[in-house]
Amino acid sequence: MQIHTTIASLRQAIASGSGTLGLVPTMGALHEGHLSLVRAARSQCGRVVASLFVNPTQFGPNEDFSRYPRTFERDCQLFEQAGVDLLFAPQPEEMYPHGPADPNRTFVEVPGISERLDGHFRPGHLRAVASVVAKLFHIVSPDFAYFGQKDAAQVATIRAMVRDLNFPLHVMVCPTVRDPDGLALSSRNRYLTTEQRTQALALSRALALISTAVSEGIHEVPTLVANLTSAIRSSPGLRFEYAEIVDPDTLEPIANLKRGALVAVAAYLGNTRLIDNMVLPPMQPIAVQTTAQEVSA
């Protein structure tokens, strides 16, 4: 695996090779969720580029940028074992020559979507995500880019950006990877104490509760949202942030489940913010049985 810290050297390495190119953007602190993206890229592409960049612009002023886990040596080993060919690991000054706080820096913004779900509670976060991902797309020029379903608001933002700006690539969204007990994998899970780790399971249990309710025929969105909110608010240790059922593409609230839905939740455990979600498939219409007499009439 080649490691590149500058845009120029990465571009030169990409230009010297050939074959379908897959990109896996990450902020490091790798877990099995990241590695599942690498393996998906490896199975579909001739060459795999991963990025490892803790992007300062997508952290709010009171968030965890300074303490975000940085495990570079371990990450490099895991990337290489999973099949990455080229690793792009720039410093902030390489990505932001005039500094990440430069007020005149160009941004990419997806109006509407970037202010919903995580974008509502973390102002500017999804704009920063769209901007850095657009830079990576421009630098790497991948054929495919791989993202995890757990970051559903990011996925919706990036899909819209790719569509609206005509990026010549395919956005591939891979399933959320979970621990055996159901907790969605996250680099921030390492912040949790043993007790908080147990309490965090309330998020996946709340989603399972909604999945069961839908399978039993409860399709009224207000009822489902109320049940979802109640399940999280009543869970010990959790500080509720949001529980919503929305269109997975626009992140707008929906009135029914006919076309499918994204069920998304967020809460804090101490100072650690956790998110989780699931995608409900489109609801099949209920077959109406008719009697022979009704047909003949």
Q: Is the pLDDT of residue 63 over 50?
A: yes
In the 8-state DSSP scheme, what is residue 68?
A: S
- Structural domains in the chain, CATH included, are 2-174 (3.40.50.620), 187-279 (3.30.1300.10)
Q: Give which of 62, 63, 38 is closest to 50, Cα–Cα.
A: 38
Residues with a catalytic annotation lie at: 34
Long-range contacts of 95-98 (CB under 8 A, 24+ apart): 95/53, 95/55, 95/132, 95/135, 96/56, 96/57
d(CA 141, CA 215): 42
d(CA 165, CA 233): 40
The answer to whether the pTM exceeds 0.85 is: yes
> Alpha helix locations (H) across 141-270?
152-164, 194-199, 201-215, 221-233
Type of residue numbered 151: D
Higher confidence at residue 62 or residue 152? 152
Type of residue numbered 162: V
| CA 81 to centroid of chain Cα atoms | 23
Instruction: Answer left, alpha or beta for residue 10, where phi above 0 means left and psi between -120 and 50 means alpha.
Output: alpha
Confidence tier at 25 by pLDDT (50, 70, 90): very high
Contact 242, 121 (CB under 8 A): yes
d(CA 167, CA 138): 9
DSSP 220-254: -HHHHHHHHHHHHHTSTTEEEEEEEEE-TTT--B-
What token pair was written down for 12? 């030169």
What token pair was written down for 196? 């908080």
| Residue-wise pLDDT tens digits, 168-181 | 999 999 999 999 99
| Range 265-292 average pLDDT | 80
Which secondary structure element, helix H or strand E, spans residue 134, and what is its range? helix 125-140
Confidence tier at 62 by pLDDT (50, 70, 90): confident
Q: What does residue 31 show for φ and ψ, rounded to 5 degrees?
A: -140, -175
